[in-house]
Amino acid sequence: MNKRHSFYKLLIALPALLLSLLFLAPIAWSLISSIKHTADILKYPPILFPKNITLEQYIKLFRAGDGVFLLFIRNTIIMTTFTISLVLIISVLASYAFVSLPFKGSNFIFILILSIFMVPFQALLIPLYSILNKLRLLDTKVGMVLVYSTFFMPFCIFMFRNYFSGIPVSIRESARLDGASELTILLKFYLPLSLPAVATIVVYLFLETWNDFVLSLIFSSSNNVKNIQVGIMNFGRQRFQSDWGIINSGSIFSLLPTIIIFLMLQKYYIQGMTAGASKE
């Protein structure tokens, strides 16, 4: 009976298993294509399991245009790091103030910050362009980080505020009686109790910034500022025949860090992302 039971279980599991493999197949095909020799990529019928694998496409990717792709990666790492740091600092500070230092009108400010989420930044590309231009921040990494931070901070402030409101008031009251400053209370009590929220937000900000395309496309024009996504698009938009070797290796290179970071922190990220939606 036990044997029949496990056979039945396998029968149920099989379609589901195949289905989840189907979700990885497109990425796998791109990966396979990226480790073929140039001559093998443009073969029809396609070679499903190449016998000779090579890093040729990745070498081509990093050599193209005097190593411009490395520069794009460097830009993206810098902008992502600074956006994550800046948003973490400002949203932790603001959320703490919303929860434990409220004043008349602070709730209104909170609603204004949340309203950033309702307004698509795609509708503000033109005024943002002109403001960045006036501030001499157009086509600079600083300008990009500030724009990213503005549009990605509402989710983080929302998240931290929720987390902080769950922390007992008695903690900060007794700390205040002991003469602790507000910053000390935040750093010594509130932040350590909110590490899952920090993990969720790090993944969220990493994905949003690393994967951004439209903001980088419109607000950056020099190779010192363009991000990795715009870089891949530049390779994809060659005037003549597209180089699918470079396009595939570039795409794989761009998705590896996001998948790794997600897998490392997926428990917190999934919990944090779905918590807001299932309140109902």
Partner 1 sequence: MTLGQLASKNRMGLLFMLPSLSLLVVFFLFPLTQVLYMSFQDWNVMGSSTWEGINNYIKALGSGEFWLSLWNTFIYTVIVTPLIFVPAILLAVMLKKTTFRTEVMRVVIFIPFTISFVSASYIWSWIYNDTYGILNFLLSKIDLISRPVNWLGETWRARVMISIMVAWKTLGFSMLIFISGLQSISQEIYEAADIDGASRIQTLFLITIPILRPTIFLALVISIAGSFKAFDQFFIMTNGGPMRTTQTIVMYINKIAFENYDMGTGSAVSVLFLILLLSISYQQIRMGGYTGE
CB 6 to partner 1: min, Å: 13
End-to-end CA distance of the chain: 43
Q: Using CB under 8 A, which residues numbered 113 to 152 contact partner 1?
A: 113-114, 116-120, 122-131, 146-147, 149-151
Residues in binding contact with partner 1, number by CB under 8 A = 95
Q: Using CB under 8 A, which residues numbered 176 to 195 contact partner 1?
A: 182
CB 154 to partner 1: min, Å: 9
Among 65, 102, 166, 168, the residue binding partner 1 under the rule CB under 8 A is 102
| Residue 272, Cβ density class (10 Å: 0-12 exposed, 13-18 middle, ≥19 buried) | buried
Among 5, 170, 240, 280, the residue binding partner 1 under the rule CB under 8 A is 280
Among 73, 77, 93, 171, the residue binding partner 1 under the rule CB under 8 A is 93
Quick one: how many helices (H) and strands (E) in the chain? 12, 0
Torsion of CA 208, 213, 217, 220, to 10 degrees: 30
Q: Using CB under 8 A, which residues numbered 50 to 79 contact partner 1?
A: none
The upper half-sphere exposure of residue 195, i.e. CA atoms within 13 Å in the direction of its Cβ, equals 6
CB 138 to partner 1: min, Å: 12
Q: Using CB under 8 A, which residues numbered 8 to 27 contact partner 1?
A: 13, 16-17, 19-21, 23-24, 26-27
Structure tokens at 70: 């490395």
CA distances from 234 to 62, 120, 231, 246, 255 (A): 14, 25, 5, 11, 17
Do you find a cis peptide bond into 154, omega within 30 degrees of 0? no
CB 97 to partner 1: min, Å: 4
CB 221 to partner 1: min, Å: 11
Rounded distance between C-alpha atoms, residue 79 and residue 71, angstroms: 12
Binding mask 227-246 for partner 1 (x = CB under 8 A): --x--xx--x-------x--
Structure tokens at 101: 């230092």
| Of 230, 92, 214, 98, nearest in space to 153 by CA | 92
CB 51 to partner 1: min, Å: 18
Among 58, 69, 98, 190, the residue binding partner 1 under the rule CB under 8 A is 98
The answer to whether 270 and 55 are in contact (CB under 8 A) is no
> In this chain, which stretch among 50-58, 63-71, 86-94, 190-198 interacts with partner 1, using CB under 8 A?
86-94
